[in-house]
Amino acid sequence: MDLVFALALNGIVWGLIIALIALGLSIIFGLLDIINIAHGDFFMVGTVLAWTVLQTTGNYWLAFLLVPIIGFGLGLLINHAVIQPIKNAAALSIVATFGLSIILQESVRATYGAAPNRLVAPIQETLLLFGIQYEVYRIFAAAIAIFAICVFFGFLHKTKLGTWMRAVRFDPEIATAMGIPAHRIYMVTFGIGFAMAALGGVVAAPITTVDFQGGIDILPFCFMAVIIGGLGNLEGTVAAAVLLAFVEGIITSFTDPTIARIGSLIFMSAVLIVRPHGIFVGATR
């Protein structure tokens, strides 16, 4: 029973981290109509950068500040070089971001090597939680993910830039005719998407491995969260990510993770049959 509880708790923590990453995927899809196959690699770059910050400075906490900023910058660069030239061509976006995914993975392999690295969590303590010793860092990771998600929604609903993002997302032509620089909004959105995935990487690095293929497993999970949550529904994406990871956590305690993932895929298929537009229909208002 303790194992079930621990894995369920791990599922929730992991779900919140996935929610943070999937939100980036969702805003990029919602605003730019880009199906970003490289999004998992943005997470992977985040883990690698976090590892680099730790190796360079010896201070892991710095990574929480530096990596999202670097991720934002990389997002701006990639948007300019890869995304803008293929804007409004969803089919091309799959090919282009698939290519980008390979470039990012191979660049990391060429620079950091192929061997996976493990990071020691910056918080080593454990806590007695409902009869089990639970890592404090995982609770901290969940708190950081919740905080980042809240900041993101606050930004979206309470700032001018967030209002512009929502306006451009709804109707870029009218938004432009009102004086909103839509091309800059696209750029910033891609940057924010990368930064969120990179922050997810920093948060997750101590509880996963750091290697050039670290994003491969994340990507389908993020897509499942975005699809089950209802395409374009940001709150739905968060709820679906947590729900999926929680269910996978529970299933993993009875069987192996591959079966759990198959269970998630069956769950997604069932949702799409019953509710083709996802559980939480409609774009975020």
Partner 1 sequence: MTMIELRDLNAHYGKVHVLQGVNLHVGHGESVALLGRNGVGKTTTLKAIMGLVRPTGGSVFFDGREISKLRPYQIPRAGVGYVPQGRGIFPMLSVEDNLFVGLSKRPPQDIIDYIFDRFPRLRERLKQSGGTLSGGEQQMLAIARCLVMQPKLIILDEPTEGIMPILVKEIRREIDAVRKTGVSILLVEQNIKTALSLCSRVYLMEKGLIAHEASSTDLEKDSDTLHRFLGVDV
Enumerate binding residues for partner 1 (CB under 8 A).
160, 163-164, 166-167, 170-171, 173-183, 283-285
Which of 174/259 has CB closer to partner 1? 174
Alpha-helical (H) ranges within 33-89 are: 39-57, 61-78
- Nearest approach in angstroms of CB 88 to partner 1 is 14
CA 39 to CA 17: how far, in whole Å?
Answer: 14
Which of 106/171 has CB closer to partner 1? 171
CA 159 to CA 185: how far, in whole Å?
Answer: 13
Q: What's the start-to-end Cα distance of the chain, in Å? A: 41
The 3-state secondary structure of 82-124, one letter per residue: HHHHHCCCHHHHHHHHHHHHHHHHHHHHHHHCCCCEECCCCCC
Which of 82/234 has CB closer to partner 1? 234
Which of 87/109 has CB closer to partner 1? 87
- Nearest approach in angstroms of CB 158 to partner 1 is 10
- Nearest approach in angstroms of CB 173 to partner 1 is 5
- Nearest approach in angstroms of CB 235 to partner 1 is 13
Task: Identify whether the C-beta of residue 175 lies closer than 8 Å to the C-beta of residue 182.
Answer: yes
Closest residue by Cα to residue 238 from 164, 179, 153:
153
Spatial CB neighbours of 154, under 8 Å, sequence gap ≥ 6? none
Which of 56/159 has CB closer to partner 1? 159
- Nearest approach in angstroms of CB 87 to partner 1 is 15
Q: What is the 8-class DSSP label of residue 60?
A: T
- Nearest approach in angstroms of CB 28 to partner 1 is 19
Task: Identify whether the C-beta of residue 27 lies closer than 8 Å to the C-beta of residue 192.
Answer: yes
Which of 183/277 has CB closer to partner 1? 183
Which of 131/181 has CB closer to partner 1? 181
- Nearest approach in angstroms of CB 45 to partner 1 is 31
CA 243 to CA 234: how far, in whole Å?
Answer: 14
Concatenate the DSSP letters of all residues of 153-165 into one string: HHHHHHSHHHHHH
CA 171 to CA 177: how far, in whole Å?
Answer: 10
